[in-house]
């Protein structure tokens, strides 16, 4: 990837003269099942541009209540696009067509904020990296079509969902109006994201890219990393999933509170009990880095291309010892 970055052909991408960015947008559109794609610095910006092109101030957005858009984008839908966001109660990060329908507001009324956009997150970060089954994705998209709602897929980890379910990213993404993909997660790039959709919507996304300050210059150096990732880092994601599973099973065997059913992709969520900060420190001292989650007693271990089988063995040894004092022994319920 470093070589690809160093050797990238570049140009002014604001003028669409960067051949590497142009190539990434062409391949990215195909990869995500759409006519066109636009290269962006981050997946947060990609989501915010999507919502900005689908909704107008005073419209309503429906999204699962623990989604990244809801929890980790600083109220962006309200701040950037004037959207009222309603958080749907999710199960495993998913919600049903009936939940969407029951929230649809009367667009003819002068009193209410009309429902305009529905977003799903696949895989769902705070649910533990869980993937949506394809029939449920299709059912949400069909409901959006029936009720004339824009459908957006936050596919920051779409590749993990595709590998876990055995369904192509393009097949999962094609029914949506817009799909986003992040290159700086399992795909292992330093930065970069895509938004994909119809040519008409992507013309608006290109304006959004300038509006949100994401138009770059010789961005081919980053696009080259993303192209490298599409060529070399997609299939290997299955290894991350297998390692996460082995980590989860090893920890569960050692008595650590891990919900095995939850482990579908590259996350292992561990319930460390009330002293989460202390547990994180002890794990760090023994060489294992984990991050916090939205659930107050739960931390997240992530497998990725820098984590080897030996690292998993080491973590299976280190984590139970580090958690000895705080382990709850109570299985996660969610
Ligand atoms: C589901 C989801 N969407 C979007 C993002 C934003 O990604 P970025 O850090 O590239 O802005 C994240 C980051 O964790 C995420 O988990």
- What is residue 29's predicted lDDT score, i.e. its pLDDT? 98
Closest-lying ligand 1 atom to the alpha carbon of residue 73: 6
Ligand 1 atom 3: residue of nearest CA? 156
**For the chain, which ranges sit under pLDDT 70?**
325-334
Taking alpha carbons only, the member of 127, 67, 65, 140 closest to residue 101 is: 140
Q: How far apart are CA 290 and CA 321, in angstroms?
A: 15
CATH number for the domain formed by residue range(s) 237-323: 3.90.1150.10
Residue span(s) of the chain under CATH 3.90.1150.10 come to: 237-323
156 CB near ligand 1 (under 6 Å): yes
Measure 42 CA to ligand 1 centroid, in angstroms: 8
Closest-lying ligand 1 atom to the alpha carbon of residue 182: 10
- What is residue 109's predicted lDDT score, i.e. its pLDDT? 86
- What is residue 334's predicted lDDT score, i.e. its pLDDT? 39
- What is residue 333's predicted lDDT score, i.e. its pLDDT? 41
- What is residue 327's predicted lDDT score, i.e. its pLDDT? 45
Ligand 1 mutation target, pool 40, 42, 43, 161, most atoms within 8 A of CB: 43
Ligand 1 mutation target, pool 50, 65, 68, 302, most atoms within 8 A of CB: 68
CATH number for the domain formed by residue range(s) 2-232: 3.40.640.10
Ligand 1 mutation target, pool 45, 72, 121, 190, most atoms within 8 A of CB: 72
Tell me the three state secondary structure of residue 258: strand
154 CB near ligand 1 (under 6 Å): yes
38 CB near ligand 1 (under 6 Å): no
The CA-based angle 104-106-112, given to 5 degrees, is 100
Q: How far apart are CA 50 and CA 117, in angstroms?
A: 10
- What is residue 107's predicted lDDT score, i.e. its pLDDT? 82
- What is residue 332's predicted lDDT score, i.e. its pLDDT? 42
CB 292, CB 276: distance < 8 Å: yes
68 CB near ligand 1 (under 6 Å): yes
- β-strands 60-64, 84-88 pairing: parallel
Measure 291 CA to ligand 1 centroid, in angstroms: 14
193 CB near ligand 1 (under 6 Å): yes
Measure 26 CA to ligand 1 centroid, in angstroms: 22
Ligand 1 atom 7: residue of nearest CA? 43
CB 205, CB 180: distance < 8 Å: no
pTM: 0.95
Measure 281 CA to ligand 1 centroid, in angstroms: 25
- What is residue 331's predicted lDDT score, i.e. its pLDDT? 45
- What is residue 324's predicted lDDT score, i.e. its pLDDT? 86
Measure 183 CA to ligand 1 centroid, in angstroms: 10
Look up residue 5 and give its DSSP letter. Answer: H
pLDDT tens profile 163-184: 999 999 999 999 999 999 999 9
The CA-based angle 117-122-123, given to 5 degrees, is 150
Residue span(s) of the chain under CATH 3.40.640.10 come to: 2-232
Measure 290 CA to ligand 1 centroid, in angstroms: 17
């Amino acid at each position: 990837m470093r070589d690809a970055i160093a050797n990238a052909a570049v140009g002014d991408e604001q003028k669409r003269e960067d051949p590497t960015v142009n190539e990434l947008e062409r391949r990215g559109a195909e990869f995500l099942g759409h006519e066109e794609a636009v290269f962006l610095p981050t997946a947060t910006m990609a989501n915010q541009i999507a919502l900005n092109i689908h909704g107008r101030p005073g419209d309503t957005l429906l999204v699962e209540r623990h989604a990244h858009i809801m929890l980790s984008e600083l109220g962006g839908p309200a701040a950037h696009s004037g959207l009222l966001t309603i958080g749907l109660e999710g199960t495993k990060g998913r919600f049903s067509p009936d939940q969407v329908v029951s929230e649809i507001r009367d667009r003819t009324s002068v009193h209410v904020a009309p429902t305009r956009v529905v977003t799903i997150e696949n895989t769902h970060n705070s649910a533990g990296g869980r993937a949506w089954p394809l029939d449920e994705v299709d059912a949400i998209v069909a409901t959006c079509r029936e009720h004339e709602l824009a459908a957006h897929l936050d596919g920051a980890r779409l590749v993990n969902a595709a590998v876990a379910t055995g369904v192509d990213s393009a097949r999962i993404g094609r029914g949506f109006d817009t799909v986003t993909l992040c290159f700086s997660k399992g795909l292992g790039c330093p930065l970069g994201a895509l938004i994909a959709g119809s040519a008409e919507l992507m013309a608006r996304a290109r304006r959004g890219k300038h509006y949100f300050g994401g138009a770059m210059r010789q961005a081919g150096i980053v696009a080259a990393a993303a192209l490298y990732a599409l060529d070399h880092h997609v299939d290997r994601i299955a290894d991350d999933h297998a390692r996460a599973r082995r980590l989860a099973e090893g920890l569960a065997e050692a008595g650590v509170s891990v919900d095995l059913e939850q482990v579908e992709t590259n996350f292992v969520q561990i319930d460390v009990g009330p002293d989460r900060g202390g547990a994180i420190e002890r794990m760090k001292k023994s060489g294992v880095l984990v991050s916090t989650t939205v659930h107050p007693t739960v931390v997240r271990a992530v497998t990725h291309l820098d984590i080897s089988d030996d690292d998993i063995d080491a973590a299976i040894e280190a984590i139970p010892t580090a958690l000895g004092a705080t382990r709850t022994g109570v299985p996660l319920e969610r």
